[in-house]
A and B are shown apart, each in its own frame.
Chain A
Amino acid sequence: QKEVEQNSGPLSVPEGAIASLNCTYSDRGSQSFFWYRQYSGKSPELIMFIYSNGDKEDGRFTAQLNKASQYVSLLIRDSQPSDSATYLCAPEKGGSEKLVFGKGTKLTVNP
């Protein structure tokens, strides 16, 4: 079982729609979970983190965590063309200062 799995996409949504990005992880010791956005040719940029079961909202972004199911997701409401990027899921490696990155989901928002 891979440590972190994401649908590689590409995920294509129309402008104004909700984009749903999913991630599963294998390490039950993971406590914190991070979402990064990476534009082509750029470095990853932290956009959300979550550590409690449930939802966490920040502007148009909502992170959802279900530790029992080992599942974390990112919802982007009112998607904009500027949201077109690759989104990386990164659970903490249980009990450490390290993160384990998924391979990312490429999102395209069509005007």
Chain B
Amino acid sequence: DAGITQSPRHKVTETGTPVTLRCHQTENHRYMYWYRQDPGHGLRLIHYSYGVKDTDKGEVSDGYSVSRSKTEDFLLTLESATSSQTSVYFCAISGGRAYNEQFFGPGTRLTVL
């Protein structure tokens, strides 16, 4: 298994509170991604990073920010959580080989009450 961990694995929070999810990799891969997965929508890209301090928006970036200060860590922040951000969040990494294969972390289940 690719060396990817996510923390926390489960979190329940209240509307309006800030939340930070962490993705940590030990593979030294260049690219890191944050997705959310919801019934009826599949996996949707929130933000991605193509290097330290280099990030860009995905298709559902509103309400989310990211930071990558080290190759191994990619943080996703919900500045003020809303119930619509209740979801399962997956981190993925790629860059170890030539064809954009992405490998996923175990996921974080976030519930916003």
Same complex origin of A and B: yes
A-side interface residues toward B, CB under 8 Å? 32, 34, 42-46, 49, 51, 88, 90, 92, 97-99, 101-104
Give the nearest-CB partner of B97 in chain A. Answer: A49
Report if A32-B43 is in contact (Cβ < 8 Å); known contacts: A43-B105, A97-B31, A98-B48. no
A interface majority secondary structure: loop
Point out the residues of chain B lying under 8 angstroms from A101, CB to CB: 35, 42-44
Query: B99 touching A46 by the CB < 8 A rule?
Result: no
Known: A97-B48, A97-B50. A46 touches B42 (CB 8 A): no
B35-79 contacts to A, CB under 8 A, are 35, 40-45, 48, 50, 58
Partner of B99 from the list A32, A88, A98 (CB cut-off 8 Å) is A32
A45 to B104, CA, bound (A): 7
Question: Least Cβ distance of B96 to chain A in Å?
Answer: 12
Bound complex: CA A102 to CA B42 (Å): 7
One of A32, A43, A92, A103 near B104 (C-beta < 8 A): A43
Beyond known contacts A34-B102, A43-B90, A97-B50: 9 more, CB 8 A cutoff: A34-B101, A42-B106, A43-B104, A44-B104, A45-B104, A51-B99, A92-B99, A97-B31, A98-B33
Residue ID in chain A nearest B105 by CB atoms: A43
CB-CB under 8 A for A88 and B101, given A97-B50, A97-B94, A98-B48: no
The total number of A-B Cβ pairs within 8 Å is: 48
* C-alpha spacing A43/B95, complex, angstroms: 19
Task: Say whether A99 contacts B42, CB under 8 Å.
Answer: no
Residues in A whose Cβ lies below 8 Å from that of B100 = 32, 34, 92, 97, 99
CB-nearest residue of chain A to B43: A101
C-alpha spacing A46/B104, complex, angstroms = 9
* A98 x B104 contact (CB < 8 A): no
Q: For A42, what are the chain B residues with a Cβ–Cβ distance below 8 Å?
A: 106-107
The answer to whether B42 and A103 touch across the interface, beta carbons within 8 angstroms, is yes
Closest to B30 in A: A97
